[in-house]
Structure 1
Amino acid sequence: MTTFIFDVLKDLQNNNVALSNITFILPSKRAGLFLKHQLAQITEQTFFSPDIISIEEFVEGLSQLKKVTNTELLFEFYSTYVQHTNKETRDAFEPFSKWAQILLQDFNEIDRYLIPQDQIFNYLSAIKEIEHFHWSLEENQTDFIKNYLTFWNRLDSYYTNFTKRLLNKNIGYQGLIYRQAVKMLEPYIENNANKQHVFLGFNALNTAEETIIQTLLQKKMAKTYWDIDAVFINNPLHDAALFTRQHKSDWPYFNENTFNWITNNYSKPKTISIYGVPKNIGQAKRIGSILNKIKRENKTLQNTAVVLGDENLLIPVLNALPESVGPLNITMGFPLQSIPLASLFEIVFHIHKNASDRFYYKDVINLLSHQYIRPLFKIEDSDYASKIIETIDTNNIIYLTTERLKQIAGSSHSYIDLLFSDWNKGISRTLKNCQQLILSIKNHFEKNKTSNLLSLEYLYRFNELFNELTRLNSKYEHIHDLNALYSIYKELLSSETLNFQGEPLEGLQIMGMLESRVLDFETVIIASVNEGILPSGKSNNSFIPFDVKLENKLPTYKEKDAVYTYHFYRLLQRAKNIHITYNTEADVLTAGEKSRFITQLELEGIHNINHEIITPQVPVIMPALNTINKTKALLQELILVAEKGFSPSSLTNYIRNPIDFYYQKILKIQEHDNVEETVAANTLGTVVHNTLEDFYKPLSGKFLTTECVKNMKKNISNTVKHHFKTIYKEGDITKGKNLIIFEIAKRYVLNFLDMEIQDLEAGNQIKIIAIETDNKVTIDLPELDFPVRITGKVDRVDEYNGITRIIDYKTGRVDQNSVEIVNWEDLTTDYKKFSKSFQILCYAYMMQLSGQIQLPIEAGIISFKNLNQGILKFAKKDRTGAYAKKDMLITQETLNNFEKELKHLILEICNPNIPFIEKEV
């Protein structure tokens, strides 16, 4: 396969053109590298290499201006804006940067297309006045109206003064450089009359480029080589040749000179395969499979290119490459914003953007857990980051001060200062902190010999970025707050990349669409050929309306789509094997719609196209419930649990799901106690329990009196507050939801005490027998050769008019039917309905077995959310339904029936032949 570049060089050689005297001008630097490589293939003689430059380098040399970065342009523009805008109506730098970026793009377009700026800005100003005619006629205009209309009137002034400022400094943006280059063209021609230029591989040209090339052509100082196929240029509707047709018909030069070249490569036989694949990862995997197949068949990936329509595919594609890929060259840089160090500074800026002397615990944990920060806090054998995180969890700290963090951090407090102190004491200080943080990470890596070249490269590139921010801040002094600094940091970060090193002329080439200009490959894989990506579709990020762009011959979305149409089809022209993938799934930016390019290829009917929809092979995996067999070691652990004692809650946990019992009692896996921002239900329950324990514990063995209970009411607030402080630790209960929950806790206790007073005033006698009493009894199980105990704490045991009652408190809602049973077997099979009954019967059984109570008794639950129902007593019903007979007394027969179910449950738990089997939830 011969390439376009090779054909151009051969044509020049055949016309006896001295290549050493030519200046080759190409669309990109990368194309120049391939041209230099192919020079050696057209001759065996030694000669001096010609000048090979990109169009931007050529134009910059013509203009004698130096191009500056977009970020520096923004600072320069703000300086102009400040000088020519009243202080009262002037935007601060951060809001200015949002709209100024768009205006700078418009300036760039106006200059590249050589539009007289006063013409277009005066036109825009007039349009706005017409659009808001009634505003401009109002006698008492608001400040908003005045400022709005003034802004449009000042655009011409902003442009004129801004460009004057840049020209005085001999710097410029791309458009200004192009406009200036046109002005400097005549002196250049006079000084370089014998110089020959060859422009090759161009397509869409702005007015400045057209003027420069046409002038050089007319002066016989240049030749042009276009790369367009007859299929496209002969079809007046085909957008791939939209610009080339215009050049051919509109340029006077081609009335008398040959138009080079119209080729016939596209019609030659090609193998085209199109794959619809779900998601980006699916596309990457498919590309990996295609490359693997090519490698197996051809033994090499030389002359193969992967062109990514969506550059976010780069990392998935790199991960999907076959191990035997061989030499590889990546022309796209890895974006700095995607590396781990970017996430670190994202967290740091997030913490400090809103000035405060307290830091949210999640932000602190995120920062201390970061892969670049955590190692800093490992000093000798101590991990101070873990200590801080554990302290936050243990003490339920929602907000932390720097002083508190330093207190916990111990000998690592210097890093706390670096990360949390002095970030709002001026932008210079903030930038120094960022640079010091980078230096600290670097020093730690080197000190502990854990550095690697990639991590050091990350640190170096970020150090460069903050050096640039420091330079810009020192030079212009426009950044006055952290939000503005963050905005500029993000702007710089988005444009910075970490460049890959590779062999640019060997092996597989991975590139973006624009990097493929002028280059030809035998095998091409084009990814993300979706509508909205290739082409990008309609977007109007501009102050200039669509109709004004048309009037002034500025490019619109149609022209931009035609540019990508040309690039797409040019890749296909000389290629023999073409693979195209697109995403079939709707994502954030796409609707899963294949590109119009694919539809056009199919409708052309020139090539045989194989179109497949690829779906991943997803094996059908039948859900299998987890089963744990009881090994000797597990049984030994189970014996220890039994000897220590089964609690009612652990037994009901087994009933609910045996696997949970296994995790908690055998493996000792407990749920992590996260920081409670809002008081949890179990915390509320514990506070209420402990408050009532404080009130009633001193009254054990005594009869309650109305006066005694009324005295308790006086201490509700202080006692509840005390227990919140003990359990909720440093959590704040003085505002928000937590304040409401604090008041609810007080109301629960108050309502309970009021219920007690009503009972007493109604003439009922209540004697407190025990409060929060611990029970531990051994039960007789002859089937087992080890002791089995049951243990638990009863909330309250009292005597109500001579009847002993066992009472369990619940701060959640419980209804009467939750403590009633019909069949005894249900106690150990239906957790949802009968776990409450099981629990209170367990308490009764333990207390009767230990001789603390005499039967018959009552047992029940007091639900603080259902307090008007009083005590919800356990009941055995003879049948279901409204007319069922209930027995609410717990007798020996009741406990005998319960004991039978309890022993059956424990024997099942301890049976070595019955595994722990997960229940479907």
Structure 2
Amino acid sequence: MITCVRLQFVINLQPDESTKIQLKTNHNFLQSLAQKCKTQFELQCDQLTVIFPNKRAGVYFADYLAQLYAQPIWSPTILSFEEFVEQKQNKHFADDLQMIFLLYKAYKEIVKQPEDFDAFFPWGEMILKDYNDIDNYLVDVRHIFRVIKSQKELDEAFRHLSEKDQQTIQGFWKSFLPTPNKKQNEFIATWSILTELYDRFNDLLNENGLIYKGRMFRDYAEQVDSLESSETFWFAGFNALTKAEESIIKSYLKNGNTDIFWDVDAYYYNDQNQESGTFFREYAQDEHFKPSISRDLKETIGQAKLEIEILSAPFSMGQIKGAAQKIEQLSLTKAEQSELLIILTDESLLQSTLHALPDQIEHANVTMGWHIAQSRAYLFLSKVLALHDKYQSNQLKKIQHKEILALLEYNDLLAIDSDRISKFDVEALKSNSVYQLTKNAQEFFPEMAVLLSSVDSVQDLIVNLIAFIKDQNLNLLSDIDRSVAVLVHGTLKRINTAMQQHNVQLNFNSFYKLFLKLGSTLKLPLSGDHKQGIQIMGILETRNLSFKHVLVVGMNEGSWPKDSSNTSFIPYNIRKAFELPTVEHQDAMQSYLFYRLLHSAENLWISYNNISEFNHNGELSRYVRQLQYESELSFKLASLVNPISAGTEPVITIQKRENVLNGLNEFLVNEGGTNKRLSPSALNTYIDCKLKFYFQHIEKIREPDELLEDMDPSLFGNLLHGAMEHLYTGRQHWKAEDISDARSSLDQAIKQSFADQKLTENNEQTGRQIIAYEVIKAYMERILAFDEQHAPFDILGLEATDYFVDFPIETMDGSVQVGLKGIIDRIDEFKEVVRVLDYKSGRDDRKFGLMFDLIDGKSNKRNKAVFQLFYYCMLYKENHPDIKKPIQPGLFNSKDLFDDKFDAMLTQTIDRKNRPVLNYTDFEEEFKDVLLYLLTEMFNPHIPFSQTEDEQKCQYCAYRQICNKG
């Protein structure tokens, strides 16, 4: 049972301005409600109970009320609707884990051959959501599941619908179940047990003294008509009520001593086409709600002062930069900063936003749900579970040292110094070691002894994980990682208890999958001090709150409103018929949350991503478009073109006039295909110097032929590539002994490569060619030595294959596809991993930093070789869309090739933290983003071909005479 504490406000006659919430002049719903409370109850506010949609609104209301009194008073009882009903019912809400395990227990009792828990888990989540909706909206359980189960009964139930609607429903089922098969029959069987499962699940909950939200609200809604109460209740700030909530409120209104207050504006209420007013217009048809809606209807939007700015910017980086600049422009005092709200439509932008805040912001208070899967603490523990899963599936019970090194990427969480990691790495490479979890690896890192201990069961592993987290000095972690560790610790304890109580057995792979699913569902409930500093919130957290300055980051269509996903057993038309929430319901809710920001804001700043990415479109939200077209509000539009680098105007620029664009458009794919495609070397040229790209690929000015007496780097590279291709051509599967035998063919392969380049006469080399020959041979011997250590492997492709990709971008003329191509040095498969390998004879590095640095021509951290490798991985992946195996880029670079510890793997290093590139897929989205940015810039007619400002790049350029650089 929840105990409600009545708070006593102690109000200073001269409150501290730095902590006082600023009272506003524009309409503020909670402030107005506080004034009503004072006027009606004076010093007897404790006679009132106020119920809000969420706790946060109650906190702000309490503060506004406190500021109206000059002496201490007893406050009203302030509750969220959930707390109110939970108190009345004297029951406790079950958490998600308790529900899924109890549902599985009920499922096993009913089904003769139940699925394993990890297979049941996603189905179970869907079932729980549907049960919750059905109860929240007071739907007859047996009726709806009978309709779903039987096609004939479905036809009967929808006889009142038009023939077109009936055909739509039938079409749904036919497309979903075209011909019966085993899986579909199992699915139908699941439908047939949903009613029985509902009853047994609720019985189990009752036996454990638990209940879920929808059922609690349903039960109370069915009881409340018979209850009498002399208390005074206010329901405030509601919009989209469920049928159960609506029934409860109406019952209290009928009993008297109850009122309801709405936060509604005439702008969208009076417009029948406005989604935001949908629910209010429906409630106004009800005799219990109509008087209060008429009383509370305000005319604020379009009447009060409001400045709206819209920033069009590329990617989240540009938007966050724009938001930081806007905050600086506002120049808010410390006391005024609590009046600034930043809304993040994508919670993953939180960390970047916090880092970008100007120095003048002393406090930033975050109130939002944040998925734990984004934290380093969770990622570390998931790698531990992956290691155990692989270890258990390995008959030899061995793991490679690289798998332990993957854990040590998180050495900051473990307080392990880098010297010990380096020593471990050296020792392991010398002996080519593999490890038993119970032995060798623990000797190096006793801090991980519990994690690396061999276990026989999942429950033993859970016990070890719980002990490990408990023994850590959590004060060494960041605030977020510490909170995640505490949350995961509690979750693991609940999983362990549930497995024992409900006799659920999980194997290591099932537990690993469950942990990954929890990462995408568990959220850290971040909550900050609302009195000091700026406020950062998600969309839902803004309900009922009012701010003078509002910044919305990520106001794209698909982000707000969010794309609705149909994760339900109940089809759309059946939901519609039974008045369950649908996509339209969600859209109306989200639309209202946007428009109510306009009730009180004096400054509204909105940013959106103007680049169409692979998981986002580049369109401004339709809510803002509606406001632009339908209101008389004024808008200030701005655009951020290039957040990467902005320097002085270069000396030579070529504007993209019609003839230039015609040459550039030759790289676009049309109905007849394209004769020209961009290679990675062409893109690297563009990044280094746009003007050089123009000379080479648009004007097609040939570079002057030169005598190659000194064996230039380009020719040297071609010789090495050719020799390796000759050596490995003709055999697919390579064992260690095959590589040993291939050494006898080294000389012949190199000679053939020289002949291909027409550098030999009568098979003889002279001068510097002899030196080049020996150097190439030394390189190849090192490559063979590496390959011998990593045999067996299979060659999947050498330089003979051209890979093509048609890459979509958005231009000012609409959607187009850019023709891309590339020839990959070598593709092989080693231990179920596809490796995309490149040979580099220069001083290229295998380490790189930020992905954007790869395309920033002004960055001294730009790594051409890594850009090229990611490009090759993209080509291979796009040409093999069904590939399931990891794709791992690798670089044989001469700089490191002769090091005893050489490994071809790439490593991303950011803030001194190393992240090996084990799988291109982990970096795919980010790389495609930067490639999209690069190509969008290239085809932007307003960005000219400009000359590089780095004159070192001009030193060996064939066009330096044209630019007056040589």
Q: TM-score, normalised by structure 1?
A: 0.66
1:737 pairs, out of 711, 722, 733, with: 733
**Which protein is bigger by CA-based radius of gyration?**
1
CA distance in 2, matches of 1:916, 1:594: 40
- Show the counterpart of 2:435: 401
Q: 1:147 Cα deviation (Å)? A: 3.1
Distance 1:376 1:439 in 2: 18
1:308 aligned residue (317, 336, 344): 344
- Quick one: distance in 2 between partners of 1:523 and 1:342? 35
Is the 1:537–1:561 Cα contact (8 Å) retained in structure 2?
no
Contact 1:108–1:173 at 8 Å: present in 2 too? yes
Pick the aligned partner of 1:366 from 370, 391, 406. Answer: 406
Q: CA deviation at 1:836?
A: 5.2
* In 2, Cα distance between equivalents of 1:129 and 1:145: 19
Is the CA contact 2:324–2:357 (under 8 Å) kept in the aligned structure 1?
Answer: yes
Partner of 2:300: 265
CA contact 1:74–1:100 (8 Å) conserved in 2: yes
Paired letter, 2:102: E
C-alpha contact (below 8 Å) 1:295/1:325 kept by paired residues: no
**Per the alignment, in what secondary structure is the counterpart of residue 607 of structure 1?**
coil
C-alpha distance in 2, partners of 1:562/1:332? 21
Specify whether residues 358 and 128 from structure 1 end up closer, same or farther in structure 2 by C-alpha distance, changes over 3 A only: farther
Q: Are residue 236 (structure 1) and residue 275 (structure 2) matched? A: no
Counterpart residue number, 2:444: 412
- Residues 307 and 603 of structure 2 are in contact (CA less than 8 Å); yes or no, is this contact kept in structure 1? yes
Q: Is the 8 A contact 2:414 2:447 kept in 1?
A: no
Residue 348 (structure 1) aligns with = 384
Match of 1:520 among 534, 546, 566: 546
Residues 459 and 536 (structure 1 numbering): CA distance in 2 closer, same or farther, change over 3 Å? closer
Residue 546 of structure 1 corresponds to which residue in structure 2?
572
| CA positional deviation for 1:498 | 4.8
Q: 1:568 to 1:134 in 2, by over 3 A?
A: closer
CA contact (8 A) 1:377 1:385 kept: yes
For residue 427 of structure 1, what is the aligned residue in structure 2? 458
- Please name the residue that 1:814 is paired with: 753
Native 8 Å contact 2:555 2:608 kept in 1:
yes
The aligned amino acid for 1:582 is Y
Distance 1:346 1:368 in 2: 13
State whether residues 344 and 554 of structure 2, in contact with CA within 8 Å, keep that contact through their aligned partners in structure 1: yes
Do residues 473 (structure 1) and 512 (structure 2) align? no
Partner of 1:168: 207
In the alignment, residue 259 of structure 1 is paired with which amino acid? S
CA–CA distance in structure 2, aligned partners of residues 204 and 451 of structure 1: 40
Residues 259/625 of structure 1: CA separation in 2 closer, same or farther (3 Å cut): closer
Contact 2:236 2:262 in 1 (8 A): yes
Query: Considering only aligned residues, what root-mean-square deviation do their CA atoms show, in Å?
Result: 4.2
Contact 1:625 1:917 in 2 (8 A): no
Q: Would you say 1:285 and 2:321 are equivalent positions?
A: yes
CA gap of 1:5–1:816, structure 2 versus 1, over 3 A, is closer
Q: Which residue of structure 1 lines up, in the alignment, with residue 581 of structure 2? A: 555
- What residue is the counterpart of 2:67 in the other structure? 41
Contact 2:301 2:598 in 1 (8 A): yes
Output aligned runs, 1:37-436, within 5 Å. Answer: 37-44=63-70, 46-86=72-112, 88=113, 90-127=114-151, 144=183, 146-186=185-225, 189-190=227-228, 193-249=229-285, 251-254=286-289, 259-268=294-303, 269-295=305-331, 300-354=336-390, 355-356=393-394, 357-372=397-412, 375-376=415-416, 383-396=419-432, 400-402=434-436, 406-407=439-440, 411-412=443-444, 418-423=450-455, 425-436=456-467
In structure 2, distance between residues paired with 1:133 and 1:519: 41
Q: Mapping of 1:690-705 within 5 angstroms? A: none
Cα distance between partner residues in 2 of 1:616 and 1:819: 45
Taking the aligned partners of 1:842 and 1:26, their CA distance within structure 2 comes to: 75
* Distance 1:214-1:812 versus aligned 2 partners, 3 A rule: farther
| Residue pairs, 1:395-794, within 5 angstroms | 395-396=431-432, 400-402=434-436, 406-407=439-440, 411-412=443-444, 418-423=450-455, 425-439=456-470, 441-442=472-473, 459-498=485-524, 502-616=528-642, 618-619=645-646, 655-657=711-713, 737-739=733-735, 742-743=737-738, 746=741
In the alignment, the residues of structure 2 paired with residue 503 and residue 532 of structure 1 have an alpha-carbon distance, to the nearest angstrom, of 30
Report if the CA contact (8 A) 2:136-2:214 is conserved.
yes
Match of 1:7 in 2: 32
Partners of 1:414 and 1:585 lie apart in 2 by: 48
1:168 Cα deviation after fit: 3.2
Shift of 1:813: 4.1
Counterpart position of 2:769: 835
Residue 637 (structure 1) aligns with: none
- Name the CA distance, whole Å, in 1 between partners of 2:505 and 2:347: 32
Pairwise CA distance, 1:528: 1.2
User: Kindly tell me: are residues 394 and 52 of structure 1, through their superposed partners in 2, closer, same or farther at Cα, counting changes over 3 Å?
Assistant: same
SS at match of 1:213: helix
- TM-score under structure 2 normalisation? 0.63
For residues 31-88 of structure 1, give each alpha carbon's deviation from its aligned partner in whole angstroms, at most 9, with x where no partner exists. Answer: 00111111123343543111000011112223332111112110010010001110x3
Contact 1:62 1:185 in 2 (8 A): no
SS of the equivalent of 2:337 reads coil
Give the C-alpha shift of residue 738 in structure 1.
3.0
> How many residue pairs get matched?
674
Question: Closer, same or farther in 2 for the Cα pair 1:254/1:501, shift >3 Å?
Answer: closer
TM-aligned CA distance change 1:369 to 1:230, over 3 Å: closer
Deviation for aligned residue 1:545 = 0.6
* Contact 2:750/2:773, CA 8 A, preserved across alignment: no
Counterpart of 1:619 in structure 2: which amino acid? A
C-alpha displacement of 1:199: 0.8
Closer, same or farther: CA 259–347 of 1 in aligned 2, 3 Å: same
Q: Does the C-alpha gap of structure 1 residues 12 and 514 become closer, same or farther in structure 2, counting only changes over 3 Å?
A: same
Q: Distance in 1 between matches of 2:75 and 2:98?
A: 36
Segments of structure 2 that go 5 or more residues without pairing to the other structure are 1-24, 155-169, 651-684, 689-707, 778-797, 799-951, 959-966
8 A contact 1:374–1:385 mirrored in 2: no
Question: Aligned equivalents of 2:545 and 2:491: distance in 1?
Answer: 33
**How big is the shift at 1:349?**
1.7
Q: How far apart are the structure 2 equivalents of 1:241 and 1:390?
A: 67
User: What CA distance in whole angstroms lies between the structure 1 residues aligned with 2:558 and 2:180?
Assistant: 43
CA deviations over 1:418-456 (Å, ceiling 9, x no partner): 444424x111211122234335653xx89xxx7777765
Alpha-carbon distance between aligned partners in 2 of 1:163 and 1:292, rounded to the nearest angstrom: 54
User: Which string of whole-angstrom CA distances, capped at 9 and with x for unpartnered residues, describes residues 750-798 of structure 1?
Assistant: xx8xxxxxxxxxxxxxxxxxxxxxxxxxxxxxxxxxxxxxxxxxx9xxx
> SS in structure 2 opposite 1:305?
strand
Mapped to 1, the partners of 2:75 and 2:776 lie a distance apart of 96
Give 3-state SS (helix, strand or coil) of 1:263's partner. Answer: coil
Aligned 8 A contact 1:63 1:184 in 2: no
> Is the CA contact (8 Å cut-off) linking 1:60 and 1:181 kept in structure 2?
no
- Cα 1:134–1:529, aligned 2, differ >3 Å: closer, same or farther? closer
Shift of 1:495: 4.6
Question: Which piece of structure 1 moves more, 601-610 or 254-263?
Answer: 254-263
Counterpart amino acid of residue 111 in structure 1 = D
Identical aligned residues as a percent: 23
After superposition, the Cα gap between the structure-2 partners of 1:556 and 1:128, relative to the gap in structure 1 and judged at 3 Å, is farther
Shift in alpha-carbon separation, 1:77–1:573, aligned structure 2, 3 A: same
* Aligned match of 1:668: none
The whole-number CA distance in structure 2 between the counterparts of 1:141 and 1:657 is: 64
Distance in 1 (alpha carbons) for counterparts of 2:743 and 2:70: 98
SS at match of 1:23: strand
Q: Distance in 2 between matches of 1:813 and 1:32?
A: 81
